[in-house]
Amino acid sequence: MRTLFENLAANHQTVVFGHANRKSNRGGTVTRQVFTTDADLPPIVRLPGMYLEFYLRFRHDLKKFRPALIFAQHELALLGTRQDAPQVLFLRDESLLYSDPSKDETRQTARKRAERAAKRRLYEKVIYGSDLLIANSEHTAKKYEQQWDIIPEVVYPFVDVSEFKVESTGNKILHVTPTMNKGIDVTLDVADRLPDKDFLVVGQEPPLSVRERIRNSPNVVYKGYVDDMRDVYRETKLLLMPSRWEEPFGRVPLESGISGIPVLCSGSGGLSEAVGDGDLIVSSNDPAAYVRAIESVLSDYEMYAKRVRRNALAKSAPNQIKKLKNIVKRRLDVEL
């Protein structure tokens, strides 16, 4: 959202409003920060207070700002649906999808059933109350189409690949986020099979069993969180994403791809769209399959590097923002 609004600020007055905003203004965009989340209050008080404060501040700002267009995401988009200005709703994950109760859940308390029903009504008002729906991948769009009988437009996330470009890369094989959902066990199995290759793991603190495996792997280094991913990409030759969960899209293939770093992935969810190259999708989580794919990519590395650079540029923020502007003009008759 920050990348989009910094682009729009060149020709429009823009305000970003929300809990997680930075306190400073950037790129011509004014930010409005909600402060309740910083208060040292019990959750039972803080959560209702947070939503109430958000609503009151949002309503107050809108009276002064009088927007011609509202961009929103998640359930707080309900506030935007009640305004005169048209609203563009970004569908970036499954947060506005609901699941029907399983047999085991049918015995849940009346309160739980009421909460589920309330959420469904809320999501319905947000979905049908918005004027334009934008999904971050064909995969995400299909999920919403199946549940809500809608057809969202598809615009990929606004990744400013120039922020991640490095002039030279290294020789390590990288894994980002060491969780089981992200397939860290597969990556470590691959590392065991390729003792002559150096592996690098970055991201949140892994589970104890994974930490122990990394400690016992002489060719694997764990660095934790990294503030600037360019420092990591400078050490990287190839990236593994053997994800098990259905990724809504996947920014990493674009971030690394701009520097010619190929990503071998499972293709789960929207990952196949992010990678954009069937030759880089490994259909099995068998470590041997990843070893074969690594050997194949390294044998013709420059060819793959050119392909991933081309893919990253095609899906980069300028092209996606241009696509969004055309859709908004066509669907809402609003010039951005």
**What is the CA angle 102-92-180, rounded to 5?**
60
Q: What is the pLDDT of residues 176-231, one digit of tens each?
A: 999 999 999 999 999 999 999 999 999 999 999 999 999 999 999 999 999 999 99
Distances (CA, A) of 51 to 45, 48, 54, 127, 184: 11, 5, 5, 19, 37
Distances (CA, A) of 308 to 94, 134, 188, 239, 315: 27, 25, 24, 12, 11
pLDDT at 107 over 80: no
The DSSP secondary-structure symbol of 36 reads G
Distance CA(4)–CA(72), nearest Å, equals 12
Closest by alpha carbon to 156, among 282, 308, 312, 7? 312
| List of residues 6+ apart from 116 with CB closer than 8 A | 98, 101
**Domains in the chain: boundaries:** 2-159+317-332, 161-314
d(Cα 74, Cα 136) in Å, to the nearest integer?
A: 13
Residue-wise DSSP of 56-96? HHHHHHHHHH--S-EEEESGGGHHHHTSSS-EEEEE-SSTT
With a pLDDT cut of 70, the percent of the chain lying above it is: 89
Q: Are 195 and 219 in contact (CB under 8 A)?
A: yes
What per-residue confidence (pLDDT) applies to 282? 97
Domains 2-159+317-332 and 161-314 share a fold: yes
Alpha-carbon span 224 to 166, nearest angstrom: 21
pLDDT of 143-187, one tens digit each? 999 999 999 999 999 999 999 999 999 999 999 999 999 999 999
Which CATH fold topology does 2-159+317-332 show? Rossmann fold (3.40.50)
Q: What is the pLDDT of residues 10-40, one digit of tens each?
A: 999 988 876 554 555 555 556 665 555 556 6
Q: Nearest CA to 173 among 212, 112, 220, 131? A: 220
Task: Just give the CATH number of 161-314.
Answer: 3.40.50.2000
Dist. CA 54–CA 45, nearest whole Å: 14
Q: Say which range, 61-70, 107-116, 122-131, has the weakest mean pLDDT.
A: 107-116
Tell me the pTM.
0.88
